Amino acid sequence: MKNSILILLLCFSLKSIANTGLLWDLFKSAATESASAEKLMAITKNFDDRSPAILKGYRGMASFMMCNHVANPLTKITYFKEGKKWLEKALTDKPEDILLHFFRLSVQQKSPSLLGYKNKISEDKRLIFQNIAKIKKGNRSDTMTTIAEFMLKNEVQLSDDEENILINLKE
C-alpha cells in the first residue's frame, strides 16, 4: 500500500512538471480570474522543499495571486508572506532562472511599498535583460512575449534601448 501511494505521488509530481504549460496558462489569468487563482493554488499546494525551483516559484505565485481575490486584509498578508517565502526559496535554488526573476519583478512592481518587497527590482530587470539578449529571434516564446508586455505596460523604468528590445520581442 505504501509503495502504491509513493508511486502515485511520484506520477503526480512528474505530471505536474510536464504540465508547466498549464501552470503558465493559469498564472497568466490568475490575477484577474479567481477560478484560475484557486486552481493554481490547488495544483501547487502539494509542491514542497524537494520540488524543482520552478514549481516552488509557481507555488509562490499562486499565493500572491490569491491576494487579488480575498477581501480580508489579514488573509491578504498571509497569502503575501507565503508567496514571498516560496518565491525566494525558488530563487535561492535557481538564481539564474529568468522566469523566477520575472515572477519576482511582477510582484514587486505591483505590491504596495508598505509590504517592503521592492528591493530587487533593478536586479531582476538586469537579469531579465541579460537573458533576453541571448534569445534568438526564431526561438521567442509566449513567455518572453508576456514578460515584454508586462514590462512595457507596468511602469517598469526602462531606458530607450531596453524599451526597443522589448518592443522587438513582441514582433
- Run of H or E residues at 123: helix 121-132
Report pLDDT for 129: 86
The model carries a pTM of 0.82
* Residues whose CB is less than 8 angstroms from the CB of residue 31 and which lie 6 or more positions away in sequence, other chains included: 37, 65, 68
Backbone angles phi, psi at 42, to 5 degrees: -65, -40
pLDDT (tens digit, 9 = 90+) per residue, 72-121? Answer: 999 999 999 999 999 999 999 999 998 999 999 999 999 999 999 999 99
Q: Where do the domains of the chain lie?
A: 1-94
C-alpha cell recorded at residue 13: 509530481
Spatial contact of 148 and 166, defined as CB atoms under 8 Å apart: yes
Tabulate helix, strand, coil % of the chain (nearest 5).
75, 0, 25
d(CA 62, CA 161): 33
Report pLDDT for 5: 42
C-alpha cell recorded at residue 35: 477560478
Q: Name the CA radius of gyration of the chain, rounded.
A: 17
Report pLDDT for 4: 43
pLDDT (tens digit, 9 = 90+) per residue, 25-63? Answer: 999 999 999 999 999 999 999 999 999 999 999 999 999
Locate cell 506520477: which residue?
A: 11
Spatial contact of 154 and 117, defined as CB atoms under 8 Å apart: no
